[in-house]
Chain A
Amino acid sequence: MSSFTAEDRAAMADSVRRLLADLCTEADIRRAMESEAGYDAALWTALVDLGVAGLVIDPAHDGLGGGPVELEAIMEEVGAALLPAPLFAVTMAAALIAACGDAAASDRLLPGLARGRIATVALTGEAGTWTPDGVALAAHAHGERWFLDGTASYVLHGAAADLVLAVARIEGGFGIFEVAPDAPGLAVERLQSFDRTLRLAKMDFRHVPATRLGQAGWEAVEAMLRLALVALAGEQAGGARRVLEMTVQYAKTRIQFGRAIGSFQAIKHMAADLLLESESATSAARAAAEALASGAPDAAEAVHLAAFACADAYAKTAADAIQMHGGIAFTWAHPAHLYLRRARADLHLLGAPAYHRERFLQAMGA
């Protein structure tokens, strides 16, 4: 449990909101997405200074000691602002390291992450599913030393990361491994992503030396994924609300046939339906964060519910937003497509909605 009070949480979210309003304008986003790194170093430093990179890292490792509720709240701001940054990748890496229960590794790695070192998780292969059978890396031990072979794909900020946490098959299960990006035998290729604010990489491993973190296996991956899904749900809820807000604002000012287009029921009814979607997404994301934070027995249900509900809500809201804007949103210069690209990326970043619907039923015991 985090030691954040409601006031701490509100203050934190407010600081992030103000920072993003200043340094993550549409022009900043467009500049970042055209850049090689995909993010603005000054903005990342500012976020690190606020403590956001170490939000879920324990204070003993220089983090803020926040939990799922704090992370979800910040991610709503991140989603609303379309922040291009390695925050999500670093948060996943930090959660995975912590879940491994390897005290020495935590001491060695987590403080760096809290201070802004770029880390990422390499898990799925070409299949792109975040499931045991999606893993296409295998680890072999030679005495005390481990070597990785295979492929990891859809690795967030894989080209910029200077710490990679790889999940690989071992005999009888899975292990989590620390890999240096310049390790011999590791080839990193940047993938061209539909969401231009994302940075994805494919990594080919040929006998790459790696260090195993503790004795952790798939259960550590699951723990990391639950937190990552809550974060993603928060981003989706925040993004859905913002893109709807933007669309409603436009419908109030765009005049056709002598009337604001928002006075037409054809537009008004779409907006009302999207409000239901985006508010339901918000409720689901926050409920999942609370369930995970309190260790509720139905936390897995809540997380998978949020995973598909928020993904679908954001995708629908962003898609309809373009339709409701009309021609103006068919231009590159209009920001609506940036939201649609993010929403569509988020649909598959950590497993498709259909997969999470299935997991939701399984978590219910059905």
Chain B
Amino acid sequence: MTVTAVKPMSDDELRAEVRAFLEEHWKGLPHRSDQWTVGPEQRAWQAKVVDARWAVNRWPVEWYGRGLADRQAKIVEAEFAAVRAPGAGQDRTHLYAITAFNFGTETMKAALLRGMLTGDINMCLLYSEPGAGSDLAGVRTKAEPDGGDYVVTGQKVWTSGAMTADYGMLIARTDWDVPKHNGISFFFLPMKQPGVEVRPLRQVTDEAHFNEVFIDGARVAGDFMLGGLNNGWRVLQTALAYERSVMGDAARGPRRGGDRATMVDLAREAGRLADPVTRQHLAQVIAWRRLNALNNARAKADLKLGTSSSVMSLGKLAMSRILHEEARFRTMLLGAQSLLEGEANPRADDANFLSLNAYFTSIGGGTDQIQRNIIGERVLGLPKEPEIDRTIPFRDVRAG
């Protein structure tokens, strides 16, 4: 790294420079269906973006940035967005790079940051375990020091992108004799090594979007620990906060024919639109979606006025009910047809798929029950449930 400073620019100068860059270099990208990796053309493009210092404008010059204020960084991002060029604003959107930048050692940052920003290094998350779902602080994957390295053994689950990942953000137990939150460390684990085995996980929907990761004696350099020994819980909290701010609602729609069919269309198609009982259900399922939209609009308006809104936290819970109840309504309309599935039975296939996939929202990212705890405690201010495992050594915590 030779540059030590980037000359300050006015907004107009900055805009002119980024426009000139895009005009000269941006030629568009071919379409790609693989969502887990970045294609060669895009990697080449992002390398240009990183080297021209447009990828992470808020970061300092030592780390591919320009040290810009948020306002000016947004100018750059707007120019990229205007021509639909990817690669800018990664200091806001690249969960892994942000975590590495904020908590990684100099050695790790020098080794990985550029590759992460160009898309040459693929990442995945190694958080959840079969025994640590809602209670993430109960992870039992262990990392034991060995020379300058750590040796990792355990099992992770619900890992998307594990097949193609070069590194995984891992939480592992490094001290069993302190309470659970205090004995966790955070690593970038190299995935392409003999001790790491990835197996696709067949989901309840009969799809496989996630993997199980079996780790047996895999090695990670001490320099690839983030935030220091036994400080992993704090790093994780920050990383989870980034993740929530970046990810929108990931619920999927029907997978067969009826993407555009409304609930009214479906009721009409089933010959049930005139049935008073059906109409009552129909009005209610439509209402739940409408009410959620009205809540979101109100939350946004409140946010603009600078008043905090309790409505914001309710969206996930509302969406769980919407998805489960819409699927129930679709199933009810179909009657015996809901016994079927497959391409030949698109409506039944949709109803059955959606009835199972609704759990993606009501379990994934914190179950509805955990969400209710969060609303009860953080929004309504109700006292926390006593946690019997909070103050005892993790070694003595009951598992099962």
Interface residues of A (CB under 8 A from B): 248, 251-252, 259-260, 262-265, 267-269, 271-273, 275-276, 279-280, 282-284, 286-287, 305, 308-309, 354, 357-358, 360-361, 364, 366
Residues of B283-304 whose CB lies within 8 A of A: 283-284, 286-287, 290-292, 294-295, 297-298
Determine how close the nearest CB of chain A comes to the CB of B263; give it in whole angstroms: 9
Determine how close the nearest CB of chain B comes to the CB of A297; give it in whole angstroms: 16
A276-B318, A280-B291, A357-B279 known; A364 vs B376 contact (CB < 8 Å): no
Interface SS, B side = helix
Residues of B254-291 whose CB lies within 8 A of A: 264, 267-268, 273, 276, 279-280, 282-284, 286-287, 290-291
Interface segment out of the listed B190-198, B207-215, B381-389: B381-389
Interface residues of B (CB under 8 A from A): 264, 267-268, 273, 276, 279-280, 282-284, 286-287, 290-292, 294-295, 297-298, 310-311, 314, 317-318, 369, 371-373, 375-377, 379-386
A251-B382, A275-B380 known; A284 vs B279 contact (CB < 8 Å): no
Give bound CA distance, A122 to B101, whole Å. Answer: 71
Q: Are A279 and B310 in contact (CB under 8 A)?
A: yes
Q: Are A366 and B373 in contact (CB under 8 A)?
A: no
Interface SS, A side = helix
- Indicate which residue in A264, A280, A364 contacts B295 across the interface (CB closer than 8 Å): A280
Query: Number of contacts between A and B (CB, 8 Å)?
Result: 116
- Name A268's closest neighbour in chain B (CB-CB): B376
A252-B382, A276-B314 known; A283 vs B372 contact (CB < 8 Å): no
Task: Please indicate the chain B residues that have their CB under 8 angstroms from the CB of A279 in the complex.
Answer: 295, 310-311, 314
Task: Please indicate the chain A residues that have their CB under 8 angstroms from the CB of B372 in the complex.
Answer: 265, 268-269, 272-273
Give bound CA distance, A309 to B386, whole Å. Answer: 36
Q: Are B311 and A283 in contact (CB under 8 A)?
A: yes
A272-B376, A283-B311 known; A260 vs B383 contact (CB < 8 Å): yes
A279-B295, A360-B287 known; A272 vs B385 contact (CB < 8 Å): no
Give bound CA distance, A271 to B381, whole Å. Answer: 11
Given contacts A279-B310, A364-B264, 15 further A-B contacts (CB under 8 A): A259-B386, A260-B382, A262-B382, A275-B375, A276-B314, A280-B294, A280-B314, A284-B291, A286-B298, A305-B291, A358-B279, A361-B264, A361-B279, A361-B283, A366-B268
Give bound CA distance, A276 to B273, whole Å. Answer: 29
Q: Are B298 and A283 in contact (CB under 8 A)?
A: yes
- Indicate which residue in B280, B314, B373, B386 contacts A268 across the interface (CB closer than 8 Å): B373
Give bound CA distance, A264 to B279, whole Å. Answer: 38
Q: Are A360 and B382 in contact (CB under 8 A)?
A: no
Task: Please indicate the chain A residues that have their CB under 8 angstroms from the CB of B292 in the complex.
Answer: 280
Task: Please indicate the chain B residues that have their CB under 8 angstroms from the CB of A271 in the complex.
Answer: 375-376, 380, 382
